[in-house]
């Protein structure tokens, strides 16, 4: 029967080969692929060249620099940072070392000599943590990609709307037969954008439709409508639409029939 191998590859670091090799053998017998390093420098090199390494088992006390400093340097190797967890093994650690380890984000630590069954439970906990973080990272990447595509689609929609508005304005300006009637004097005090909003209101369009057509927010449309009503001394959208409707239009005839 072939034993399944975990997705999490373990880097075991200790400057005492007699401690590293039995630990690697034990973890490999429980489904983990292991890499042994006998110095901090070798650990850095192995981690840099093997992207599958994602769990570090490291002695706190190493020649050169300690396991906490090693974790710090591993984090700085790749940009953006790789997902990995670290477990410290130590024969003795004072309070200051433990505080440094926590600040560096080291997940757990075990007193040597290590009880291998307890260590295996800790490795499995970190394995599940890593797999969950990878799943979340994939989902976030997929969501970001979908949001990017959505933003591109919205941009294209606004561009199409602007083109359509541009063509409409060009036709109106170039065809005298289709030119709009002269505006009532009360509307001549409006700014071009206020007048544009007023004309769209007169066409019976909702605030949402106006916002889409002009490429502005719905709240901004509400503000413009409020300004137009105040400046023209009108009370509601119906009165505004009636004032801008041609006398021959069904809307004007409907409200002046009496």
Q: From 128, 143, 158, give the residue that closes a domain.
A: 143
- For the chain, residues with pLDDT lower than 70 are 1-3, 79, 155, 158, 160, 162-163, 165-182, 246-258
Q: Is the dihedral of CA 247, 248, 254, 258 positive or negative?
A: positive
Domain co-membership, 187 together with 139: no
**Where does residue 32 rank: exposed (0-12), middle (13-18), buried (19+ CB within 10 A)?**
buried
What is the distance between the alpha carbons of residues 88 and 98, in angstroms, rounded to a whole number?
A: 10
For residue 103, the domain's CATH number is: 3.40.50.2300
pLDDT score recorded for residue 32: 96
Residue 204 falls within a domain, yes or no?
A: yes
How many other C-beta atoms lie within 10 A of the C-beta of residue 209?
14
Residue 201 lies in a domain: yes
The pLDDT, as a whole number, for residue 117 is: 94
* 167 falls within a domain: no
| CB distance 82 to 54 below 8 Å | yes
Q: With a threshold of 0.85, does the pTM exceed it?
A: no
Residue 103 structural domain: 9-143
Choose the final residue of a domain: 143, 165, 192.
Answer: 143
CA-CA-CA-CA torsion for 106, 112, 118, 119, nearest 10 degrees?
50
Do 23 and 110 lie in one domain? The reply is: yes
Verify that 37 and 133 share a domain, yes or no: yes
Q: Check whether the bond before 104 is cis (ω within 30° of 0).
A: no
Residue-level pLDDT at 65: 84
- Is 170 inside any structural domain? no
Predicted pLDDT of residue 162 = 67
Do residues 25 and 136 both lie within one domain? yes
Could you tell me the CATH number of the domain that includes residue 231? 1.10.10.10
pLDDT tens sequence across 204-224:
889 999 989 888 888 888 888
């Amino acid at each position: 029967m072939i034993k399944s191998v975990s997705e999490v590859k373990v880097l075991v670091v200790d400057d005492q080969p007699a401690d590293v090799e039995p630990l690697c053998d034990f973890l490999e017998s429980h489904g983990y692929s292991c890499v042994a390093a006998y110095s901090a420098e070798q650990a850095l090199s192995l981690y840099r060249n093997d992207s599958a390494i994602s769990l570090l088992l490291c002695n706190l006390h190493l020649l050169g620099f300690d396991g906490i400093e090693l974790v710090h340097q591993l984090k700085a190797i790749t940009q953006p940072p790789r997902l990995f967890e670290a477990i410290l093994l130590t024969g003795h650690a004072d309070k200051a070392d433990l505080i440094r380890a926590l600040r560096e984000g080291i997940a757990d630590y075990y007193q040597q000599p290590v009880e291998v069954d307890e260590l295996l439970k800790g490795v499995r906990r970190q394995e599940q943590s890593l797999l969950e973080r990878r799943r979340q990272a994939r989902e976030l990447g997929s969501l970001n990609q979908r949001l990017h595509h959505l933003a591109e689609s919205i941009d294209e929609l606004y561009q199409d709307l602007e083109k359509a508005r541009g063509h409409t304005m060009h036709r109106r300006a170039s065809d005298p037969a289709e030119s709009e009637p002269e505006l009532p004097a009360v509307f001549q005090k409006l700014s071009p954008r206020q007048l544009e909003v007023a004309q769209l209101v007169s066409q019976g369009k909702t605030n949402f439709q106006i916002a889409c057509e002009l490429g502005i927010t719905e709240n901004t449309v509400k503000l413009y409508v409020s300004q137009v009503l105040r400046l023209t001394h009108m009370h509601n959208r119906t009165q505004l639409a009636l004032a801008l409707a041609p006398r021959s239009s069904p809307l004007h005839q409907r409200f002046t029939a009496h």
